[in-house]
Structure formats: C-alpha cells, structure tokens
Structure 1
C-alpha cells in the first residue's frame, strides 16, 4: 500500500484560494481534486486537518468531494484541525464526528506512526510556529519530547519547519518538524519522501 500525507486542503475557501494564487475557488478546488484523484487505487492518505473553511456548508461540500476520492479506492484518515468541527477544541465536536466517519476510516486529534526507523507523530499543529505572530491553540499542541512531527496549519512554503539542514545535510537546531501542508508541496507527499528527509536529518 502506498501511503501519502497532506494537510490544509481548505476546499471552498476563497481567501486561501486567493492566497495560493488561484483566480477562483473553483480552479483551486479542481487542482486539489485532480491531484487527489491521481493517487493510486488502494493507497492510503492521511489529511492532517482543515479540509475546508469550517462552516457547516463548507464542510458538507469538502466531505462530498473527499467522499468521491474514497469511493475511488483511496483509504482516507483525518487528523482533525482547527477548521474541522470534529476537533475536540470545538464545543459539541462529538456531534459532528459521525459526518466525518462517513468519509474517513479514522478521525483523531493526533496519531503515531513509524516512518523508516523513526517513530513519528502526526498533528495538525506544529510543536512551534504559526502563520500569525503568536502561536495559537497551544493547549491542543503536542509536547516536543524529541520525536519527529508531521504537521500542517502554518500555510508556510517551507517543508522543514522547525530547524534547518546543516552543510553536511544533517538536521540541526530547533524542532524535528516536517510541514506536509498543501502550501509547501502542492500535492500529497509520499511516505518514501518523508523517510528520506527524516533519514537525512535524524541524529
């Protein structure tokens, strides 16, 4: 099974479509839908939050689009983000989870996987960093205890978001974070690509 990761699709979100350089939300959503439709049948896709702008109508639209992807044989998993009504940060989140489970195999606020030789955490939020001057939703962020973290949320173009690669190609300083968001990759990221990044930076 091929495994992919992405985040921050923001389907139907006019402000994000404009931020990403699209003239209309339709063009934005068509580009994302096309990239997801290109995933091999039988593959697994982890979306690390923010499928839409978060309103009921926007979520219904995004879930319908993602449901079509699931019907084509892609196994979808959601790590909920701040724009997803099923995230525990929202009052009555439990009332919304059923709609998401009609499309996603699992819906969780965070998860743990292994990529190559490394245990890796999945969360919508990075350990540190935001697209605002202050880190928001800090009470819903995982604590940095040295594990690699795949995340979204920041809308930054940078794929390595918590430190930098040294001249020897090794990761150094800061936090072991990889931003898998659409703004950084413009497509789902294959597990092997992440394995290469982690293997190159693991101490």
Structure 2
C-alpha cells in the first residue's frame, strides 16, 4: 500500500476543463493546441480566456467537462493500484451536482480516499455538511499531517498563510485567486514543516518557498503524486528557514 496526493480535480467544472484543454469548440481547441506547442500550457490557458471573451462565449459553451472528468479518473486509476490510498486536497468538483461528483469519486480505484477540504467544496466553512462526502472519503479534515520516510509533511488545500499575501505571479501561471489574502485564515502558518498544497492551479511544481510543493493536477500532467516523488523532490531541495 502506498499514499498518493492530488488536488483540484474540479469534476464537472467548465472553466477548469477548458483551461486544461478539454474544449468542444473545434476552432478554440485548435488555437489552444497551437498555443501549447508554441508557448506552453500556461499561455494556452490564457488564450482560451481571451478567445471565449472575444466571441462572447461562456466556458460552459466551449468546455467538454465529460472528457475532462473521464481523463482525470483514467489518469488516477492508471497510477494507483486498488490497495493504495489517495489524498484529495480540495476542490473535488464545482458547477455541477453532488450526484455527478459522487459518480466520479466512486469510479476511482483506491483502497481509501481522504479529503482535505478546499474552498470550492460544499463543506468549506460548513463542516456540518461533511455527511455529503461520507459515501466516498474515509477521513475529512481541514488540514492533515502525514509521515513519508520518517519526515512529517503538512497537507492543505492552500499555500502557507504567509504566502497568501495577494502576490501576483508575473508569469500569469496561477489562478486569479491563487494568493488571495481572504483565504489566509484558512491556510496553515509556516512552522518548519514541509507542505503539500493545491489551489493555485500553477503548472510549475515549486511553491513560493522551498518548503512547499504543489501537488495539483495542473503541474503533474493530471496525475497524482506518489510518496516517492514527494521524497525525491524535497531530497533535492533544502528546507527553508522558518520566518521569525
């Protein structure tokens, strides 16, 4: 049995589906693919936003959410074995029904699923609604800590609290609310532990400091991240000093 980590599956969400290249409109899909080849996936995501705005289209008009969800589930199932455990660190689904999200979760072949709650989840700030998830998740927490190779790692949907300062990535390779200080109270304070996080939808793996690793689907080719990959990443990156 091994542990895997992922976040921001966003089942049923037109915006995320389209920005990941699951696009039903043939012209916009062709433009997206060209942008990926010429400029990279982050630039392609920006192209989709511009193209939809120019044509006055909603993301729901152009996204292929079914193809997105099928691809995410297939990628997870191709990586895990049925005896493995998967930590899903928030934003399981959005702009869709709980019935659809349940269907997607039940299609994942894992021994156990664990939820770390994200800002788009129905029980974010409403933990009385945890029962909506009991059909799928063995544990439900706002944050968690796991041990990999004798080292403790924090799990949170968000980057560390100190990083939630309104920073605007000059590359544009993050979601619009990536470092929204409004979410700072929901984020963990930096305390010397290493952190696995999501929320930002960045296509790069490194956090803003070397104590943090983004494990979201956008930076790992829609694949969950293994314990071995986590240990290998931090094995090459020294810990950051804890801020005073």
TM interval, shorter chain, is 0.7 to 0.9
Q: How many residues align?
A: 184
Q: Name the counterpart of 2:115.
A: 78
TM-score, with length taken from structure 1: 0.84
Residues 112-144 of structure 1, C-alpha deviations (whole Å, 9 max, x = no match): 111223211000011125733633311111000
Distance 1:149 1:79 in 2: 13
Distance 1:80 1:60 in 2: 18
Alignment gaps of 5+ in structure 1: 164-170
Q: Name the counterpart of 2:199.
A: 153
Residues 56-83 of structure 1, C-alpha deviations (whole Å, 9 max, x = no match): x4333112211232xx443100001001
Q: Name the counterpart of 1:189.
A: 225
Between structures 1 and 2, the one with greater strand share: 1
Q: Name the counterpart of 1:27.
A: 67
The CA RMSD over aligned residues, in Å, is 1.7
SS of the residue 1:201 aligns to? coil
SS of the residue 2:182 aligns to? coil
- Report 1:4-19 matches (<5 A): 4-19=4-19
Instruction: Please list every run of at least 4 consecutive aligned residues from structure 1 whose deviation after the TM superposition is greater than 6 angstroms.
Output: none
- Report 1:50-199 matches (<5 A): 50-53=91-94, 57-69=96-108, 72-87=109-124, 89-90=125-126, 93-94=127-128, 96-127=129-160, 128-129=163-164, 131-132=175-176, 134-163=180-209, 171=210, 176-185=211-220, 186-199=222-235
SS of the residue 1:107 aligns to? strand
Residues 75-110 of structure 1, C-alpha deviations (whole Å, 9 max, x = no match): 1000010011122x24xx31x211201110001000
Distance 1:73 1:49 in 2: 17
Residues 146-199 of structure 1, C-alpha deviations (whole Å, 9 max, x = no match): 210001000001111123xxxxxxx5xxxx110000111121111100011112
Among 231, 236, 240, the alignment partner of 1:200 is 236
Distance 2:196 2:19 in 1: 22
SS of the residue 2:5 aligns to? strand
Distance 1:98 1:35 in 2: 27
Distance 1:118 1:201 in 2: 14
Residues 26-59 of structure 1, C-alpha deviations (whole Å, 9 max, x = no match): 1111100111222211110000000111x5x433
- Tell me if the contact between 1:11 and 1:58 (Cα under 8 Å) persists in the aligned partners: no
Distance 1:16 1:73 in 2: 24
